[in-house]
Structure formats: C-alpha cells, structure tokens
Structure 1
Amino acid sequence: MTTKINDLRSALDYLRTIPGQLVETNVEADPRAEISGIYRYVGAKGTVKRPTRLGPAMIFNNVKGHPGAKVAIGVLSSRARVGHLLGCEPEKLGFLLKDSVSTPIAPVVVSADQAPCQEVVHLATEEGFDIRKLIPAPTNTEEDAGPYVTMGLCYGTDPETGDTDITIHRLCLQGKDEISMYFVPGRHLDVFRQKYEKAGKPMPISISIGVDPAIEIAACFEPPTTPLGFNELSIAGSIRGEGVQMVQCKTINEKAIARAEYVIEGELLPDVRVREDQNSNTGKAMPEFPGYTGAMKPAIPLIKVKAVTHRRDPIMQSCIGPSEEHVNMAGIPTEASILGMTEKALPGNVKNVYAHCSGGGKYMAVIQFVKKAPPDEGRQRQAALLAFSAFSELKHVILVDDDVDLFDTDDVLWALNTRFQGDVDVITIPGVRCHPLDPSQSPEFSPSIRDVGISCKTIFDCTVPFGLKEHFQRSKFKEVDPAKWVPELFKK
C-alpha cells in the first residue's frame, strides 16, 4: 500500500479508490435508530439480527439535526477491508498485530497548530453548549438508553505511575455536559479511575472519535499481551512505522489523538454514579457484540464534559455493536495474542488462529494445528489451554488440522462432523470467569454456574489422531490454473 493513512479521512479516501468498499448517501438520515437500521442491511453482518450481509462501509452526508456533520459506519466491518487499511493480507492480520506488539513505536506530542482535532473549540462554559447537538452520536435502536459514542478512544493516565492507557468503552450521552461510562471489570482505565476516586479527585479523560483504523484495532488488545502500563498506541505506531500524534487538551491535563475528528474533554467525577437509562427508562443500554441488547447498569461512573473540539466539517464514526466491525476490532488482537503465546510454547505447531465472527471476536477461536510427529499428539490441546490464558474472555476453542480452512465455517463444521467424537474430543473446564455480556452465563441457565459471568470453557478437538492421518486424506484433485477457462473470475 503506497497511500499514507494516518487518520479517518485518509482511510476513507483510500477506500474510495477500491471498488465495493465504500458507499455514500446524501439522503437525510436520522441518527436515532435509522442510521444503524439502514447499515444493518448494507454491510453489518457479524452477530446482528438477520437479514444482513457483508458489505461496504457507509457515509451519511446528511444527518438530521446536525448540519455540516457526517457519520461514517462500518469502516472496519470487513476483514478484507481491514487488510486494505492496514496493508496486509486478511489471513495474516493476526501475525501483523503480533509482530507490532513486539516492535512498539511510542506516540509523539505535537503542538496545537499541528492538531486538526482542535480546529474548532466549544467550551462547556459557553451559553447553549450541548454535546447532544454538537456530536451526531447515533441511538442504535429505538429502545436504547440514549445516543451512544461507540467508537470513542478513551485515554487516561495512572495518577501514581504516569502510565497511560487507551481503550474503547460504552459511552452514553446523558445530558448537555454529562456522559455515563460503563467499565467491564478489569479494564486498565478503571484501575486508574479507582485510584483517583480513592484520593477524592476527578480523573481527566479524553475521548477521541474518528481516528486512524490502526489505532482502533490496537486499542482492543487486552492483558496479558498488553499488561498494565503498556500503551497500545505504540502498536498502532508500529503498524504505521511512525508514532501516533497526540496533542495537549484545552481544558484538562490530558492528551488526545491529534488527528481525530472529534475530541471530548472531561473528568470522571469521584463517587458519582448514574442510572444508565435515566432518560429512556427502558431497562436497556444498547446492542452489544454478542447480538443482544445489554441491560442498563443501575449505577455507573459519570464524565463531566469540559469541552468538545473537532475538525471543520467533522465526521462522526460509529459502530452498531453486534456486527463484523466489532469482530475485527476485538478478534484480530485476540488472534495476535493467541499466536504470540502459542509460538513461544509450541513453535511451529500453530499455523494460524481465527477469532470467529459468531463469538464477536471474543468468545470463540479456531486454531489450525500442525502435527508433524507422534510427540505432537496432545499438544493441540495444550495450544487450546494456552489460548484461554492468552485471552481470558475466550469461551470456546475449536482445534482443526492444517488442511482445514479455518476462515471457512463450512470447512470447520466438516472437520467437526468427520474428525470429531463427542465422548472423547470434548474437554470442559467449568467454573471459569469469562465475559459478563454472555447471557447464558448465569445460575438460572446452569446450576453449575455460581455467579453471573462465570462460564464453562470448552475445547472441541477436531484434529485427526497422528497415527490415523493417512486415513483422513482429502480427495486429491488435479492442480490447474482456472484463469485459462474463466479469466473474469480469477483476475490477478
């Protein structure tokens, strides 16, 4: 890839040069339920309600109630598109991310005049200030708790060590200068927040919206691959070959991504909690990656907004939640984490890993394992155990041989049907903490579950025993170049 991508705009410009990767509409669309409702049909795929399809990213140029603003959605909702944007073959993205973790390039600070995100500044002290009017954040369904920032890169600093962290969180616009923030237990920014709260101090936090896709992917890494104190922005720097540009915020002692479309500057208030659905009273939050609408949280932290800065003619970036977009953002770092750990322990055995779309990039991994000699028998199950260690929110691992296309669900199910016996090839590990948004993880669902969020992790070993490999050879077809007969289907 020769095009330099360092922000959302350059990413969209690049997609415009690739047929079928981006569509735009000038027809007015309402950010309340309509934008996400439209994109569900256009290109969401993933775990979203059917019917849906894998399609292009989309830009809405005429957003109701927000003259001059645009909304981009689905930028990362295709693995092939992620490959285009990161300059990598789709099948090798996990390896690219794994290598980038090992070769980090730290972010750099630039001056305000070099930061497009501060071209326009709105201070919360100004008359008429209202984030709901300034930011065209979609309400994904009609029963959502409110408008949500779903692609906000939240950046904060540990008050004791000075370490920084960036992650994506569920952010609901609650009022003219208030945003609720839901933390999944264990997130590093929540560790920082708790330290501030214990000291009775507000925590400065910046939220950058509409950034280089490399940053959005990198921000989704989790421990142990990126432990507390590891700045995931350095992974994005490695992908691009230069440090991510940061700028000092206008109203708080924190930095933000300099080339973002929007930046929200605010403070997490100590000992202040709000009910997430206080404005809708629906009992629900928003659609989440497993395909269900998350329940509202009765008491979550609150951000007091100090300012909103943005580019001229800004582009809001959004994600509808249960979609292929979440699969790619969460799943590719998951693959990288598993590859990194298995390569160290079992060098040469794991050929590739796919964090399957049906698990939202988090719940299920398919591991392609190579058995080269008799002692490799059994190591495939060790690889599965390593995968659970590499990514704690993983629930299911499917092991397949290296002749199975792990990105083709039909081929994986073929292995399940012809190389698997349930009485000997299912390995269960009950009573393990997993991800809290899986609705089946409750004592009501299974008496073996003691608390919400605990799960039975399961390995499905669909590999052929080494001693029987010669009896499981796929039919051998003649190797030909099909382009000779149907060149229109096999263009180089």
Structure 2
Amino acid sequence: VPAPDPARWPRETLPVDLTALPVPVLTDEDAGPYLTLGAVLATDPDTGVRNLSVHRMCVQGPDTLTIWMVPGRDLELAHQAALRRGSPLPVAIHLGLCPAVLLSSCCPTSLVPPDLDELAVAGALAGQPVELLPCRTVDTEFIAHAEYVIEGELLADRAPESRHGTVATPEFLGYQGRAHPSLPLIRVTGITARESPILQAVSGPGHEQSVLLGFGMEAAVLDLLRRRGTPALAAHCHTAGGGQLMVVLQWPAKRGPEDDVAVRVAAEAVLEQFRMAKLVLCVGDDVDIESDQDLWWAMVTRFQADQDLHVLPDREGFPLDPSQHTGYSPSLSADGRTAKAVFDCTVPYAQRARFQRPRFTEPSLPAPRRPAAPHLR
C-alpha cells in the first residue's frame, strides 16, 4: 500500500484548548464535558502492536483529560509498559471516524486478540486500508480521515474524575454513572481538524453505542457456537441490554428430540463464556429477531416458565447493572455477580406440528384493463 499523501487529507491546526471544542455535557449532574466516542490509538512499546479503543474522557482543563480504562485491557497494558520505561504513552484521540473503524475498536478479545491490530480488522470491514499519518506533536500516528484529532501523552499523574461530586456521566445501561476517585491524566499537546469538522459523540444509554457494542459480541457468539458444533442462524445483541447483556439466538428447524437439549446447552455455554451476557432468548427460524413484537409473541406463546426457564445462579457479571448487587439479591456471593437465565422459546421437536404460523397469500389484484384504442376514421 503506498504511503498516504498528507495533501489528500488537509488539516487545520487548532489552539490547544479543549474548552473551545463543542464537547457535550449530557446532564446537569455531569462531572464536566465528556468525550463519549473518543477512539484512542496507541502503540504498545513492548510488543509494537497498535491498539484502538473507545474510552470516556472528561475535560478537566484546556489541555487536560481524565480517562477511564477497563483494568487489564490493551490500552492500560500499553500505558503500564510505557511507565516501566520511564516515559508517558503517546496517544492520538479521534473524534469522527468511519463506521468500520469504530466497529473494529469495539470487537471483544475473543475475536481480536492482543497481538492483532484493530486497524487491520477495520481495513477488512471497509474493503480498503486505513490510512495513517504521523502526529505533529507526539511520536505516534493518527487516522487520516478523522474529523478531529487530539494528540497527547497518557501520564503517570492521576486526578479525580469529578471535582464537585460523585457523578460522572450517564452509562450505557441507562443509569447515571459514578465518578472514579482517581484516574490517569492525558496532557494534550496538539489539536487538528478537517475543514468544517463534526465532533461525533453518543449519549450513554443511546441506541448508537449499544449497536457498536453489540456488533463484535454477535460475531463472537456465532464464532463460539460454530466452534462448538451447534451453529445458530443468527445472533442479535439487543439494545435494551446495552448491546451486551441480552442475547437473542435464532435456531434452525430442529431435526430430532436431541435438539431440544442442544439449544439449551448451547445457550448456557454463551452465558458461561461471556461475562456480560445475562439473558439469552432462544427462538426459531420463523421469528424475526429484530422485531420486539415477534420476540414478545414468541415469549408469550412458546414459553412455559416451569420448564423453559433455565437459571445459572451466582455467576460473574457486570457491576454497572444495579441489580447485580448483594443488597438486591442476598443469593449473590458478591457485588458484580448475577443470576443468568436462558428463555427457551423454541418449539419442542415433538410439538412442532402444533406451532405452525400461517403463511398469508399475496393479494391477487385484477389485471389492469387496457384503455380502448381510439376510433380512427
């Protein structure tokens, strides 16, 4: 691939002042303006592998951001590797990227292991390479087509996420987020933008964020089931669960009574493999998995709670769900654990003849009448 030509991607250098950018404040309680769809690109100094991941970052001043990194994930590991070398980690924060790049940044580790560059995945999705250019103020690269690029260094210094309360900004499950008492700081060294740039953002419980999170998980679930030898027709990570907590699986027509058990066992495997997954809803191939009306119809007419509900008690879960708390359920051994459940709304093989949906005929319309030919004299 030829090296990108900077002339193809003209950029304007902006003052280093985050407060001058249209960064949203979502609620009156928020800790401050938040970059909610900032994609951070950094290279691990130990492995040389690039990582692209989206993080919430709170504007703390004209040239300062706090960043929340999930512990143990690739960006935090790269940050720790840089600090062991005695230097900050150069980063490029992107606001406004094409869908392929954003989708690749949200893929789970089971699909994109640490030694695989997310930008390679983005290039495969887009059908063309992702072009990179060198940053102007730090020793790293940025994605050439980004609307805004914030260059900076991820420091060893830390600061509270909120300086005036305990609230951060709304989380993706629809509840107000809690501010962290101490988070790493990013010192901004430069800001560039394309002509008439658009600052891309999402709200915490928004549909867009749930779709981004669900895309990679759907692929990972289908990959797990394929490797188990029980492939489903489709997987849909419903936005009601933030694209993570509720998984709908569509199964092909059952070939024998053994498939009644196979569906349940495969659904339980999904719950065991994916910490975030809390509910799995199984339906047949005649149910539209993207129609809430169809899903509720299947629940009402193809589900008996005494035999079709299968519960896995006290499993590792996700603490941002407020019900996953010992104060809510004393049967949980610790906060952040949960009871998981399979709702099997597939038709039992032996009963399949009783559950046929009608196939309505297409209305037959009379053929249009031709106008009479004009009378010629």
Q: What TM-score do you get using the length of structure 1 for normalisation?
A: 0.70
Q: CA deviation at 1:367?
A: 0.4
Structure with the greater alpha carbon radius of gyration: 2
Does residue 325 (structure 1) correspond to residue 217 (structure 2)? The answer is: no
5 Å matches for 1:22-421? Answer: 110-116=4-10, 119-122=11-14, 129-133=16-20, 135-270=21-156, 272-278=157-163, 281-346=164-229, 349-370=231-252, 371-388=254-271, 391-421=274-304
Shift in CA distance, 482/473, structure 1 to aligned 2, threshold 3 Å:
farther
Which one-letter code corresponds to 2:351 in the other structure? L
Greater mean alpha carbon deviation, residues 295-304 or residues 369-378? 369-378
Bigger relative contact order (CA 8 A; separation at least 6): 1
Q: Deviations over 1:22-66 (max 9, x none)?
A: xxxxxxxxxxxxxxxxxxxxxxxxxxxxxxxxxxxxxxxxxxxxx
Question: CA RMSD, aligned part only?
Answer: 2.3
* Deviation sequence 1:134-189 (CA, Å, 0-9, x none): x2111111211111111111111112111111111011111111100011234221
The 1-side partners of 2:2 and 2:19 are apart by: 31
Report the count of equivalent residues: 367
For residue 180 of structure 2, give the secondary structure of its aligned residue in structure 1. Answer: coil
Moved over 6 A (4+): 481-485
User: SS at the partner of 1:342?
Assistant: helix
Instruction: Tell whether the 8 Å contact from 2:257 to 2:348 is kept in structure 1 after alignment.
Output: no
Q: Pick closer, same or farther for the CA change 1:186–1:473 going to 2, 3 Å.
A: farther
CA distance in 2, matches of 1:246, 1:434: 37
Q: Secondary structure at the match of 2:199?
A: strand
Q: d(CA) in 1 for partners of 2:103 and 2:182?
A: 29
Rate the CA distance shift 1:201–1:230 in 2: closer, same or farther, 3 A: same
Deviation at 1:222?
A: 0.9
Relative to structure 1, the CA distance from residue 181 to residue 429 in structure 2 (aligned partners, 3 Å threshold; closer, same or farther) is: same
| Equivalent position amino acid for 2:13 in 1 | V
Flag the 1:362–1:111 CA change in 2: closer, same or farther, 3 A.
same
1:108 is displaced (CA, Å) by 7.7
CA positional deviation for 1:471 = 1.8
What runs of 5+ residues in structure 2 fail to find an aligned partner? 369-377
Contact 1:140 1:320 (8 Å CA) reproduced: yes
Distance 2:314 2:367 in 1: 56
Q: Deviations over 1:232-269 (max 9, x none)?
A: 22222112211111111112121111110111111111
Provide the residue aligned with 1:453 in structure 2: 336
Return the alpha-carbon distance in structure 2 between the equivalents of residues 432 and 108 of structure 1.
Answer: 50
What residue in structure 1 maps to residue 319 of structure 2?
436
2:161 is aligned with what amino acid?
E
What is the Cα deviation at residue 109 of structure 1? Answer: 5.4
Q: Which stretch of the first structure deviates more once superposed, 383-392 or 292-301?
A: 383-392
- Give distance in 2, aligned partners of 1:191 and 1:469: 52
Residue identity opposite 2:186 in structure 1: I
Residue type of the alignment partner of 1:173: V
Does the C-alpha gap of structure 1 residues 194 and 425 become closer, same or farther in structure 2, counting only changes over 3 Å? farther
- What percentage of residue pairs aligned between the two structures are identical? 38
Q: Secondary structure at the match of 1:343?
A: helix
In the superposition, the TM-score normalised over structure 2's length comes to 0.91
Q: Deviations over 1:311-330 (max 9, x none)?
A: 12221111122111112111
CA separation in 2, counterparts of 1:361 and 1:287? 16
Tell me the distance in 2 between the aligned counterparts of 1:379 and 1:300. Answer: 45
- Unpaired runs of 5+ residues, structure 1, are 1-106, 124-128, 486-492
Deviations, residues 345-390 of structure 1 (Å, cap 9, x unaligned): 235x411111111101111011011222333221112331343356
